[in-house]
């Protein structure tokens, strides 16, 4: 094929994606002097990537299949805006060969591999056949075309349990199940196929031997149209949950220099099997002794920033230069490894509630400045809305340092200084993970998070003396700011009084716990706070996002957010959510029982797993929802009889809608 149809210089780039990766591509493209075009769904009208781009085109309704997965509308968006090239980002259509081919046929440069390369390496089954022929070591498994349950069951018996059932076209842990016995296989295949079809439009499965205590190591590769193919070192992505990466670092702390050379050479050999052009990642699993090829991702990875920080290479810039038809600017022996980088993925999810996605408006968005080796790749801002229709990742916090220990410390400091409110995030969980001694010692495998989940998601400590004093100071500072809006108000300082010394009482509680009381003494003389028998002199100095609180001569930095009577505080002791008890009474609260089987978020009913009248054990599955592209199974909260199911497969349900009723045994 004429290379000019595949690779040529262009001036206008359409980014066929959303969120953090769309913002990331736009920034580099604009720095290179390119005009950028964003696309968006009705749910993303006010999204950050839309605001950043030079132009933006509405694709359609919120659901991805009607917008970001609609090839015809994407091609039409390029035509309308005069875009000459398309960058697919990651996820959505980034590894869809039909989309790459449609771009070519429309006269557009696809910033990525060709459809043929994508087909060869994007299929987990097909790529394994290629790797076997090329002599790249593989995990024992079944990668055949036959997809009936009998064939898959026979293959599983031959391989031996435990096995991994995974989507051939998948990624990100979707359509993937660990199966430890023959009895679990049938339901796992059905669920994995359904999830894979919804996420990728392809429900073909493959089966592999599940490697116990595995480590996940991957190598970044990039090739140009002149026959040059480079590896840019490896990344360790072992810290995962449900096969979804949580923390990534580069280089791998598990490999020595000789092992690094070996795995990078194997990656180049794997990509060379299809004369690969573009950025891609060769993924391996290690049992501590050997390294086996898993798959190739024919796109940019979420975790590419750690590679950029240790190599000094902008991978998006190199992608675009390859798409221009240029040769890669460096040779393999010119690439240098410098320092260590670690990345944490910030998600809108609640770790204490089985990582249930969180949706809503972001009322507070405070992430640290990109200084001192810290990098922030974000796709959201204060005021943005997190919808239930897409992946829940909000941002990535990445840290670089000369050594791994210092990089981890910098990353954890960045996480500790991050405050996002209005939705629930996994930031405290990430911080707990990065401070875990086994993570620091690299004594981990891909099952580490599941084993340590109770430790990593333990409840926040109870507020102490510092937090109660900070809560009062936050309220006083808030009132002072409100008073300043009234130029003639005497309440511009909380200590103003006509005569004498006064008291003001405060009460706070955490959740439905007991009230904790504190008294403010003010008026003539210094203000003090009284907790029990202790009286503390205090002063505050306001600053952006909070204030400095000095108690008995010790200054502490406090971050604070007040929303009515709800207070969020971050002190040296951690993060705290307190309720300020209304001093005038009249509070009313809704108590929702745990027995309510309701939709936790808007979603689609994809399976009903029980029948009315059935006797259920506690924890028995009742139905499955698809929420944010992942399946969530709702289970019986106690042993009882399933009295009714108030939905059917295919129903789109809203948050809080009751879906089933279980009557407890004995009632």
Residues 280 and 282: their CA atoms lie apart, in Å, by 7
CB 343 within 8 A of CB 414: no
Residues 509 and 579: their CA atoms lie apart, in Å, by 5
String of DSSP letters for 449-498 = HHHTHHHHTPPPPPP-HHHHHHHHHHHHHHHHHHHHTSTT-STTSTT--S
Residues 245 and 242: their CA atoms lie apart, in Å, by 8
Residue 235 corresponds to which tokens in the numbers above? Answer: 């990344």
Catalytic residue annotation: 299
Q: How many CA atoms lie within 13 A of 616 on its CB side?
A: 28
Nearest to 230 by CA among 322, 163, 342: 322
Nearest to 218 by CA among 118, 93, 306: 306
- For the chain, the straight-line distance linking the first and the last C-alpha, in angstroms and rounded, comes to 74
- Quick one: the chain helix, strand, coil %, rounded to 5? 30, 35, 40
Strands (E), 120-271: 141-142, 163-167, 176-179, 205-209, 215-223, 229-241, 244-250
Residue entry with tokens 């590896």: 231
Residues 240-271 as b or e (16 or more Cβ within 10 Å = b): bbebbbbbbbbbbebbeeeebeebbebbbbbb
Nearest to 394 by CA among 368, 424, 371, 414: 424
Residues 398 and 253: their CA atoms lie apart, in Å, by 17
Q: Residue 6: how many CB atoms within 10 A of its CB?
A: 16
Long-range contacts from 48-51, C-beta under 8 angstroms, 24+ separation: 48/19, 48/23, 48/378, 48/379, 48/380, 48/381, 48/384, 49/15, 49/17, 49/18, 49/19, 49/22, 49/23, 49/379
Residues 31 and 25: their CA atoms lie apart, in Å, by 10
Q: Give the C-alpha distances (Å, rounded to integers) separating 253 from 186, 447, 597.
A: 38, 18, 44
SS3 667: coil
Residues 88 and 17: their CA atoms lie apart, in Å, by 6
> Which helix (DSSP H) or strand (DSSP E) does residue 132 occupy?
helix 124-134
- Rounded to 10 deg, the angle between the 115-122 and 124-134 helix axes is 90
Phi/psi of residue 104, each to 5°? -60, -45
String of DSSP letters for 266-286 = HHHHHHHTTT--EEEEEEEEE
Phi/psi of residue 468, each to 5°? -65, -45
Residue 487 corresponds to which tokens in the numbers above? Answer: 């130029």
Q: Is the peptide bond before 162 cis (omega within 30 degrees of 0)?
A: yes
């Amino acid at each position: 094929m004429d290379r000019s149809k595949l690779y040529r210089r262009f001036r206008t780039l359409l980014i066929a994606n959303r969120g953090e990766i769309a913002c990331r591509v736009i920034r580099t493209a604009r720095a290179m002097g390119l005009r950028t075009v964003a696309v968006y769904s009705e749910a993303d009208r006010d999204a950050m990537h839309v605001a950043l781009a030079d132009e933006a085109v509405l694709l359609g309704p919120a659901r991805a299949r009607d917008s970001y997965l609609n090839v015809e509308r994407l091609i039409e968006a390029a035509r309308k805006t005069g875009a000459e090239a398309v960058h697919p980002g990651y996820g959505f259509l980034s590894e869809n060969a039909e989309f790459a081919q449609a771009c070519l046929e429309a006269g557009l440069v696809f910033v990525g591999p060709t459809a043929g390369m994508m087909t060869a390496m994007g299929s987990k089954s097909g790529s394994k056949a290629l790797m076997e022929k090329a002599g790249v070591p593989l995990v024992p498994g079944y990668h055949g075309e036959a997809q009936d349950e009998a064939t898959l069951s026979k293959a599983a018996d031959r391989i031996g349990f435990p096995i991994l059932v995974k989507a051939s076209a998948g990624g990100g842990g979707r359509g993937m199940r660990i199966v430890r016995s023959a009895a679990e296989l049938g339901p796992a295949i059905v669920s994995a196929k359904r999830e894979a079809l919804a996420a990728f439009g392809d429900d073909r499965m493959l089966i592999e031997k599940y490697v116990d205590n595995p480590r996940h190591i991957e190598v970044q590769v990039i090739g140009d149209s002149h026959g040059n193919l480079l590896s840019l070192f490896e990344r360790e992505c072992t810290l995962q949950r449900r096969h979804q990466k949580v923390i990534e670092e580069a280089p791998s702390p598990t490999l020595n220099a000789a092992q690094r050379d070996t795995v990078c050479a194997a990656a180049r050999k794997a990509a060379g099997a299809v004369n690969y052009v573009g950025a891609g990642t060769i993924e391996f699993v290690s049992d501590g002794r050997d390294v086996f090829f898993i798959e190739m991702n024919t796109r940019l990875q979420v975790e590419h920033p750690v590679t950029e920080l240790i190599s000094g290479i902008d991978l998006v810039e190199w992608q675009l230069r390859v798409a221009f038809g240029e040769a890669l600017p460096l040779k393999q022996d010119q690439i240098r490894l410098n320092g260590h980088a670690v990345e944490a993925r910030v998600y809108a999810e609640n770790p204490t509630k089985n990582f249930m996605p969180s949706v809503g408006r972001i009322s507070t968005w405070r992430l640290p400045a990109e200084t001192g080796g810290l990098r922030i790749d974000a796709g959201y801002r204060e005021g943005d809305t997190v919808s239930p229709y897409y992946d829940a990742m909000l941002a990535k916090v990445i840290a670089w340092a000369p050594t791994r220990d210092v990089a981890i410390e910098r990353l954890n400091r960045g996480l500790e200084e991050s405050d996002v409110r209005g939705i629930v995030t996994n930031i405290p969980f990430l911080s707990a993970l990065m401070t875990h001694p086994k993570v620091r010692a690299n004594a981990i495998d891909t099952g580490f998070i599941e084993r340590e989940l109770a430790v990593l998601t333990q409840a926040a400590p109870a507020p102490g003396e510092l937090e109660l004093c900070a809560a009062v100071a936050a309220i006083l500072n808030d009132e002072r700011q409100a008073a300043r809006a009234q130029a003639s108000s005497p309440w511009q300082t909380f200590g103003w009084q006509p005569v004498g010394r006064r008291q003001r009482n405060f009460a706070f509680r955490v959740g439905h716990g007991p009230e904790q009381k504190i008294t403010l003494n003010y008026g003539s003389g210094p203000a003090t706070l009284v907790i029990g028998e202790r009286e503390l002199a205090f002063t505050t100095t306001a600053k952006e996002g909070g204030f400095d609180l000095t108690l008995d001569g010790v200054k502490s930095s406090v971050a604070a957010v007040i929303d009515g009577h709800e207070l969020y505080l971050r002190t040296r002791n951690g993060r705290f959510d307190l309720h300020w008890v209304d001093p005038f009474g009249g509070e009313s609260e809704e108590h929702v029982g745990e027995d309510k089987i309701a939709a936790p978020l808007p979603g689609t009913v994809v399976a009903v797993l029980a029948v009315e009248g059935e006797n259920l054990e506690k924890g028995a599955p009742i139905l499955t929802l698809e929420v944010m592209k992942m399946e969530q199974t709702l289970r019986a909260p106690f042993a009882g009889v399933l009295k009714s199911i108030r939905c059917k497969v295919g129903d789109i349900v809203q948050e809080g809608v009751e879906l089933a009723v279980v009557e407890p045994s004995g009632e």
